[in-house]
Amino acid sequence: MNKFKQAVAVLALCGIVQAAPAQDRGQKGQVVQDGIAVKPLKGGALRDLLAPEGAMDQAADQQYTALLGQARQKGVLVAENDPQVRRLRAIAERIIPHTTRWNQDAQQWKWQVNLLKSDQVNAFCMPGGRIAFFTGIIDKLRLTDDEIAAVMGHEIAHALREHGRDRQAKATTTGLATSALGALFSAWSGYDVRGLANTAGQLYVLKFSRDEEREADLVGLDISARAGYDPRAGIALWNKMAALNQSGAPIDILSTHPGGANRIQQIQSHMNVLLPLYARSKNTSVDRLPPYRSNVALR
Protein backbone atom coordinates (compact mmCIF):
# COMPACT_ATOMS: atom_id res chain seq x y z
CA MET A 1 0.00 0.00 0.00
CA ASN A 2 1.41 3.41 -0.83
CA LYS A 3 1.73 6.16 1.75
CA PHE A 4 -1.33 8.08 0.54
CA LYS A 5 -3.56 5.04 0.70
CA GLN A 6 -2.18 4.23 4.12
CA ALA A 7 -3.00 7.72 5.34
CA VAL A 8 -6.53 7.46 3.97
CA ALA A 9 -6.98 4.10 5.68
CA VAL A 10 -5.79 5.54 8.98
CA LEU A 11 -8.13 8.51 8.70
CA ALA A 12 -11.03 6.24 7.82
CA LEU A 13 -10.23 4.09 10.82
CA CYS A 14 -10.21 7.17 13.03
CA GLY A 15 -13.57 8.18 11.63
CA ILE A 16 -15.05 4.81 12.45
CA VAL A 17 -13.64 4.87 15.95
CA GLN A 18 -14.89 8.38 16.60
CA ALA A 19 -18.37 7.46 15.44
CA ALA A 20 -18.42 4.23 17.42
CA PRO A 21 -20.50 4.07 20.60
CA ALA A 22 -19.07 4.22 24.10
CA GLN A 23 -17.43 0.78 24.21
CA ASP A 24 -14.14 1.86 22.64
CA ARG A 25 -11.56 1.78 25.47
CA GLY A 26 -14.64 1.86 27.67
CA GLN A 27 -14.70 5.62 27.98
CA LYS A 28 -15.34 7.40 24.69
CA GLY A 29 -17.91 10.05 25.24
CA GLN A 30 -18.59 8.86 28.75
CA VAL A 31 -19.78 11.59 31.07
CA VAL A 32 -19.91 11.01 34.78
CA GLN A 33 -22.03 12.85 37.28
CA ASP A 34 -19.64 12.82 40.19
CA GLY A 35 -16.05 13.87 40.69
CA ILE A 36 -13.85 15.19 37.92
CA ALA A 37 -15.41 14.57 34.50
CA VAL A 38 -13.71 11.75 32.59
CA LYS A 39 -12.51 12.73 29.15
CA PRO A 40 -11.53 10.27 26.43
CA LEU A 41 -7.83 9.65 26.00
CA LYS A 42 -6.16 11.71 23.30
CA GLY A 43 -5.27 10.33 19.92
CA GLY A 44 -7.35 7.17 19.54
CA ALA A 45 -6.48 4.83 16.70
CA LEU A 46 -3.90 7.11 15.12
CA ARG A 47 -2.01 7.23 18.40
CA ASP A 48 -2.10 3.44 18.73
CA LEU A 49 -0.66 3.13 15.23
CA LEU A 50 2.15 5.63 15.75
CA ALA A 51 2.96 4.78 19.35
CA PRO A 52 2.09 1.14 20.00
CA GLU A 53 1.45 0.58 23.67
CA GLY A 54 3.42 -2.69 23.71
CA ALA A 55 6.67 -0.97 22.71
CA MET A 56 6.19 1.74 25.31
CA ASP A 57 5.41 -0.78 28.00
CA GLN A 58 8.48 -2.80 27.11
CA ALA A 59 10.75 0.26 27.28
CA ALA A 60 9.26 1.31 30.62
CA ASP A 61 9.63 -2.21 31.98
CA GLN A 62 13.28 -2.34 30.88
CA GLN A 63 14.06 1.00 32.46
CA TYR A 64 12.25 0.34 35.71
CA THR A 65 13.87 -3.08 36.09
CA ALA A 66 17.28 -1.53 35.38
CA LEU A 67 16.62 1.19 37.94
CA LEU A 68 15.68 -1.32 40.62
CA GLY A 69 18.63 -3.57 39.81
CA GLN A 70 21.14 -0.75 40.03
CA ALA A 71 19.53 0.69 43.15
CA ARG A 72 19.73 -2.73 44.80
CA GLN A 73 23.39 -2.98 43.87
CA LYS A 74 24.07 0.45 45.38
CA GLY A 75 22.18 -0.47 48.49
CA VAL A 76 19.64 2.32 48.02
CA LEU A 77 16.60 0.16 47.31
CA VAL A 78 14.63 0.19 50.56
CA ALA A 79 13.70 -3.33 51.72
CA GLU A 80 10.18 -4.67 51.17
CA ASN A 81 9.55 -5.13 54.89
CA ASP A 82 10.54 -1.54 55.73
CA PRO A 83 7.60 0.32 57.34
CA GLN A 84 7.82 3.15 54.77
CA VAL A 85 7.62 0.70 51.84
CA ARG A 86 4.65 -1.02 53.48
CA ARG A 87 3.05 2.37 54.00
CA LEU A 88 3.47 3.33 50.33
CA ARG A 89 2.16 -0.04 49.14
CA ALA A 90 -0.87 0.13 51.44
CA ILE A 91 -1.76 3.56 50.05
CA ALA A 92 -1.29 2.36 46.46
CA GLU A 93 -3.49 -0.66 47.13
CA ARG A 94 -6.36 1.62 48.12
CA ILE A 95 -5.93 3.97 45.15
CA ILE A 96 -5.43 1.39 42.36
CA PRO A 97 -9.05 0.09 42.24
CA HIS A 98 -10.17 3.61 41.28
CA THR A 99 -7.83 4.00 38.31
CA THR A 100 -9.74 2.10 35.62
CA ARG A 101 -12.34 4.84 35.29
CA TRP A 102 -9.60 6.88 33.68
CA ASN A 103 -7.96 4.18 31.59
CA GLN A 104 -9.43 0.71 31.15
CA ASP A 105 -5.99 -0.73 30.37
CA ALA A 106 -4.94 -0.09 33.97
CA GLN A 107 -6.80 -3.25 34.91
CA GLN A 108 -4.05 -5.26 33.24
CA TRP A 109 -1.14 -3.23 34.61
CA LYS A 110 1.36 -5.03 36.81
CA TRP A 111 1.58 -2.37 39.48
CA GLN A 112 4.85 -1.96 41.37
CA VAL A 113 5.70 0.39 44.24
CA ASN A 114 9.26 0.92 45.43
CA LEU A 115 11.19 3.34 47.62
CA LEU A 116 14.70 4.61 46.87
CA LYS A 117 17.01 6.02 49.50
CA SER A 118 17.89 9.45 48.13
CA ASP A 119 17.54 13.03 49.36
CA GLN A 120 15.76 13.97 46.13
CA VAL A 121 12.32 15.50 46.54
CA ASN A 122 10.82 13.32 43.84
CA ALA A 123 8.44 10.52 42.88
CA PHE A 124 7.20 9.07 39.61
CA CYS A 125 4.89 6.55 37.99
CA MET A 126 6.11 5.12 34.71
CA PRO A 127 3.73 3.83 32.04
CA GLY A 128 2.13 0.58 33.15
CA GLY A 129 1.95 1.51 36.85
CA ARG A 130 5.62 1.36 37.84
CA ILE A 131 5.86 3.68 40.84
CA ALA A 132 8.90 4.92 42.75
CA PHE A 133 9.21 7.34 45.65
CA PHE A 134 12.44 8.85 46.93
CA THR A 135 12.89 9.06 50.71
CA GLY A 136 13.67 12.78 50.27
CA ILE A 137 10.09 13.71 49.36
CA ILE A 138 8.62 11.86 52.34
CA ASP A 139 11.18 13.10 54.87
CA LYS A 140 11.75 16.69 53.78
CA LEU A 141 8.05 17.46 53.32
CA ARG A 142 7.09 15.25 56.28
CA LEU A 143 4.25 13.86 54.21
CA THR A 144 1.15 12.55 55.94
CA ASP A 145 -0.69 9.56 54.42
CA ASP A 146 -3.18 11.92 52.77
CA GLU A 147 -0.31 13.93 51.25
CA ILE A 148 1.50 10.80 50.04
CA ALA A 149 -1.79 9.80 48.40
CA ALA A 150 -1.95 13.24 46.73
CA VAL A 151 1.57 12.80 45.30
CA MET A 152 0.90 9.21 44.27
CA GLY A 153 -2.45 10.08 42.72
CA HIS A 154 -0.81 12.87 40.72
CA GLU A 155 1.95 10.60 39.40
CA ILE A 156 -0.48 7.77 38.63
CA ALA A 157 -2.71 10.25 36.80
CA HIS A 158 0.13 11.12 34.39
CA ALA A 159 0.47 7.41 33.55
CA LEU A 160 -3.29 6.82 33.31
CA ARG A 161 -3.84 9.77 31.02
CA GLU A 162 -0.81 8.75 28.95
CA HIS A 163 0.77 12.16 29.29
CA GLY A 164 3.80 12.75 27.14
CA ARG A 165 3.04 9.59 25.21
CA ASP A 166 3.85 11.21 21.88
CA ARG A 167 7.19 12.35 23.30
CA GLN A 168 7.88 8.94 24.83
CA ALA A 169 6.99 7.28 21.54
CA LYS A 170 9.48 9.44 19.72
CA ALA A 171 12.24 8.40 22.12
CA THR A 172 11.29 4.75 21.78
CA THR A 173 11.02 4.66 18.00
CA THR A 174 14.25 6.59 17.39
CA GLY A 175 16.16 4.19 19.62
CA LEU A 176 16.82 6.96 22.11
CA ALA A 177 15.51 4.81 24.93
CA THR A 178 18.06 2.10 24.18
CA SER A 179 21.02 4.45 24.04
CA ALA A 180 19.81 6.26 27.15
CA LEU A 181 19.70 2.91 28.87
CA GLY A 182 23.37 2.46 27.98
CA ALA A 183 24.16 5.89 29.40
CA LEU A 184 22.21 4.93 32.47
CA PHE A 185 24.38 1.90 33.15
CA SER A 186 27.58 3.85 32.79
CA ALA A 187 26.30 6.65 34.99
CA TRP A 188 25.50 4.10 37.65
CA SER A 189 28.94 2.64 37.62
CA GLY A 190 29.82 5.90 39.41
CA TYR A 191 29.15 6.43 43.06
CA ASP A 192 26.83 9.40 43.28
CA VAL A 193 23.33 8.43 44.33
CA ARG A 194 21.86 11.76 43.34
CA GLY A 195 23.32 11.35 39.86
CA LEU A 196 21.87 7.88 39.70
CA ALA A 197 18.39 9.06 40.38
CA ASN A 198 18.68 12.04 38.06
CA THR A 199 19.72 9.88 35.15
CA ALA A 200 16.85 7.54 35.80
CA GLY A 201 14.45 10.43 35.90
CA GLN A 202 15.55 11.86 32.59
CA LEU A 203 15.04 8.56 30.86
CA TYR A 204 11.33 8.73 30.64
CA VAL A 205 10.10 11.65 32.67
CA LEU A 206 9.86 14.21 30.06
CA LYS A 207 8.83 17.55 31.32
CA PHE A 208 5.05 17.59 31.52
CA SER A 209 3.08 20.46 30.03
CA ARG A 210 1.02 22.81 32.19
CA ASP A 211 -2.18 21.32 30.74
CA GLU A 212 -0.98 17.86 31.72
CA GLU A 213 -0.15 19.18 35.18
CA ARG A 214 -3.64 20.61 35.60
CA GLU A 215 -5.19 17.30 34.60
CA ALA A 216 -2.85 15.27 36.84
CA ASP A 217 -3.67 17.46 39.85
CA LEU A 218 -7.42 16.95 39.47
CA VAL A 219 -7.47 13.32 38.33
CA GLY A 220 -4.95 12.46 41.05
CA LEU A 221 -7.07 13.98 43.80
CA ASP A 222 -10.21 12.41 42.33
CA ILE A 223 -8.77 8.90 42.66
CA SER A 224 -7.17 9.51 46.06
CA ALA A 225 -10.43 11.00 47.42
CA ARG A 226 -12.37 7.94 46.24
CA ALA A 227 -9.76 5.82 48.03
CA GLY A 228 -10.53 7.65 51.29
CA TYR A 229 -7.70 10.21 51.32
CA ASP A 230 -8.53 13.82 52.05
CA PRO A 231 -8.24 15.87 48.82
CA ARG A 232 -7.44 18.97 50.88
CA ALA A 233 -4.03 17.31 51.26
CA GLY A 234 -3.37 18.49 47.70
CA ILE A 235 -3.40 22.08 48.93
CA ALA A 236 -1.22 21.26 51.95
CA LEU A 237 1.20 19.36 49.72
CA TRP A 238 1.82 22.15 47.23
CA ASN A 239 2.02 24.70 50.05
CA LYS A 240 4.72 22.61 51.70
CA MET A 241 6.47 22.32 48.36
CA ALA A 242 6.37 26.10 47.88
CA ALA A 243 7.69 26.70 51.41
CA LEU A 244 10.59 24.29 50.89
CA ASN A 245 11.28 25.86 47.51
CA GLN A 246 11.43 29.30 49.08
CA SER A 247 13.94 28.08 51.63
CA GLY A 248 16.24 27.47 48.65
CA ALA A 249 16.27 23.67 48.84
CA PRO A 250 16.37 21.92 45.46
CA ILE A 251 13.02 20.34 44.57
CA ASP A 252 13.55 17.89 41.75
CA ILE A 253 9.88 17.17 41.16
CA LEU A 254 9.16 20.80 40.25
CA SER A 255 11.50 20.70 37.25
CA THR A 256 9.39 18.02 35.55
CA HIS A 257 6.02 19.10 36.95
CA PRO A 258 5.64 22.82 36.14
CA GLY A 259 2.54 23.76 38.08
CA GLY A 260 2.95 27.46 38.57
CA ALA A 261 1.30 29.70 41.10
CA ASN A 262 -2.32 28.97 40.21
CA ARG A 263 -2.09 25.22 40.86
CA ILE A 264 -3.39 25.58 44.43
CA GLN A 265 -6.13 27.92 43.24
CA GLN A 266 -7.29 25.35 40.68
CA ILE A 267 -7.37 22.56 43.27
CA GLN A 268 -9.27 24.81 45.65
CA SER A 269 -11.85 25.69 43.03
CA HIS A 270 -12.61 21.97 42.48
CA MET A 271 -13.10 21.10 46.15
CA ASN A 272 -16.87 21.23 45.56
CA VAL A 273 -16.59 18.06 43.44
CA LEU A 274 -13.64 16.45 45.26
CA LEU A 275 -14.85 16.71 48.86
CA PRO A 276 -18.12 14.82 48.20
CA LEU A 277 -16.06 11.87 46.88
CA TYR A 278 -14.01 11.86 50.07
CA ALA A 279 -17.07 12.25 52.30
CA ARG A 280 -18.78 9.37 50.48
CA SER A 281 -15.75 7.11 50.97
CA LYS A 282 -15.94 7.92 54.70
CA ASN A 283 -19.72 7.29 54.83
CA THR A 284 -20.42 10.85 55.87
CA SER A 285 -21.45 14.16 54.33
CA VAL A 286 -19.27 17.13 53.40
CA ASP A 287 -20.68 19.33 56.16
CA ARG A 288 -19.75 16.70 58.75
CA LEU A 289 -16.10 16.45 57.67
CA PRO A 290 -13.66 17.79 60.26
CA PRO A 291 -11.39 20.65 59.15
CA TYR A 292 -8.22 19.49 57.40
CA ARG A 293 -5.32 18.81 59.70
CA SER A 294 -1.77 18.56 58.45
CA ASN A 295 1.38 18.37 60.50
CA VAL A 296 2.15 21.84 59.11
CA ALA A 297 5.60 22.75 60.43
CA LEU A 298 8.47 22.14 58.02
CA ARG A 299 11.91 21.17 59.09
Interacting residues with Zn ion (CB under 5 A): 208, 213, 216, 257
Min separation Cβ 4 and Zn ion, Å:
39
Question: How many CB atoms are located within 10 Å of the residue 80 CB?
Answer: 10
Order of strands, edge to edge, in the sheet holding 130-134?
112-116, 130-134, 123-126
Q: Please state the closest distance from residue 212 (CB atom) to Zn ion, in A.
A: 7
Minimum CB distance to Zn ion smaller for 216 or for 225: 216
In contact, 234 and 259? CB cutoff 8 Å: no
Closest CA to 35 of 286, 277, 292: 277
Decide: 88 and 69 in contact? Cβ < 8 Å: no
Cβ 178 to Zn ion, closest distance in Å? 26
Least distance between Zn ion and beta carbon 157 (Å): 8
Q: How far is CA 114 from CA 64, 73, 76, 145, 247, in A?
A: 10, 15, 11, 16, 28
Nearer of residues 238 and 278 to Zn ion, judged by Cβ: 238
User: CA distances (Å), 262 to each of 90, 186, 227, 258, 276, in order?
Assistant: 31, 40, 26, 11, 23
Nearer to Zn ion, 188 or 220 (CB): 220
| Cα 220 from Cα 75, distance rounded (Å) | 31
- Of the two residues 71 and 216, which places its CB atom closer to Zn ion in the complex? 216
Q: Which is nearer to Zn ion, 29 or 260 (CB)?
A: 260
| 112-116 and 130-134 beta bridge pairing | parallel
Residue nearer to Zn ion on the CB measure, 188 or 229 = 229
Residue of 155, 212, 213, 215 marked active site: 155
Give the integer Cα–Cα distance in Å for 126 and 112: 10
Shortest reach from residue 163's CB to Zn ion, in Å: 8
Query: Is 213 one of the catalytic residues?
Result: no
**Chain residue whose CB lies nearest Zn ion:** 257
Q: What is the C-alpha to C-alpha distance for residues 110 and 58, in angstroms, rounded to an integer?
A: 12
State how far the Cα of 3 lies from the Cα of 105, in Å rounded to an integer. Answer: 30
Q: So which residues are the catalytic ones?
A: 155
